[in-house]
Amino acid sequence: MVLKDAANAVKALCKGINPTASFLGILYVERFFKKGGVAMKVKVFKMSSFTESISGGNPAGVVMEGLLSESQMKKTAAVVNCSETAFVSESDEADFKVRFFTPVSEVDLCGHATIATFALMFLKKKLQAGRYSQQTKAGVLGIEIQPDGQIMMEQALPQFGEEIDKDEVAKVFGIDKKAFSDELPIQVVSTGLRDIIVPVRSFSILNSLKPDFEKVGVLAVKHNSAGFHFFTKDRNGFDASCRNFAPHLGINEEPATGTASGALGCYLVRKGICSSGHVMVFEQGYSMEKPSAVKAVVSESNGAITKVQVGGKAVFLEQIEVEI
């Protein structure tokens, strides 16, 4: 009764002032009074990004309860067990603050979970088509919701890092170094996360990778990287076909990777393979039977990249409650 009375008191106090304050206040009271190891229930919306079908795309969790502690976010993400779960709260710097957790750790930015978050708010009519901003650990980034529900997210301007020896990558992925492009390097590129961009000669090579996940994770950590993003242009209808591996973050392989797609787009424009302003379309997830399509647009001015956008659509999968 104490919990119920306290929650009702907060609701009455906030009535007519701010519905969000009432909602967040009740959540605070509930958590304040829950003691003795009683499990907390967290509402999670599961979306699949970079697809228009529930059979494709990359699933992400979205949690709209803004008063969870970091420990509670970690526990929730571990239970949800999507490659990333997004946690939305209020921000003094942007329209929303969003944090991203894999099942094992926090990451600065996640493309597909961003798409899922804003697609969910559009689907629930919390947001209309227009421009918004999100505060992330990679900075304050712009979001565009298009009238058809497509979400385009801005990413940080690229930082081009070191080139990586082809021999050490070949060893951990079970392929010969001749599988890699002769003209293009294996290189770290960041648009918020350090991704290792790996060009291979053909679609058949892309699908023949045999990663030793433990060694892949060790090599990614050695280069302070979010993971390996393999691609080839050997397939009509797409600007690139891709696979992404991040086992050190609890993600052996991912069916669609927004942040790495932004890095790849910058790589292709910088190398002169794709042109500034061109809407690039990358396929991913076919090796996992989760076909996905990620769009990327990279703009240049006077030889310098001035804007990076990645996007696509997302579909609703289910709403669940998890106990932590």
Q: How far is CA 266 from CA 18, 35, 66, 114, 296, in A?
A: 43, 50, 34, 19, 9
Distance in angstroms between the alpha carbons of the first and the last residue of the chain: 23
Query: Position 112: which residue type?
Result: H
Q: Which residues, other chains included, contact 17 with Cβ-Cβ below 8 Å and sequence gap of 6+?
A: none
Q: Are 169 and 228 in contact (CB under 8 A)?
A: yes
Q: Which residues, other chains included, contact 301 with Cβ-Cβ below 8 Å and sequence gap of 6+?
A: none
Closest-CA residue to 197 (of 209, 185, 215): 185
Q: Active-site residue numbers?
A: 84
109: number of Cβ within 10 Å: 27
User: How far is it, in rounded angstroms, from Cα 134 to Cα 98?
Assistant: 6
Helix 258-270 × helix 111-123 angle, to 10° = 120
Q: Are 257 and 234 in contact (CB under 8 A)?
A: no
User: How far is it, in rounded angstroms, from Cα 45 to Cα 56?
Assistant: 17
Longest CA–CA span in the chain (Å) reads: 71
Q: Which residues, other chains included, contact 36 with Cβ-Cβ below 8 Å and sequence gap of 6+?
A: none
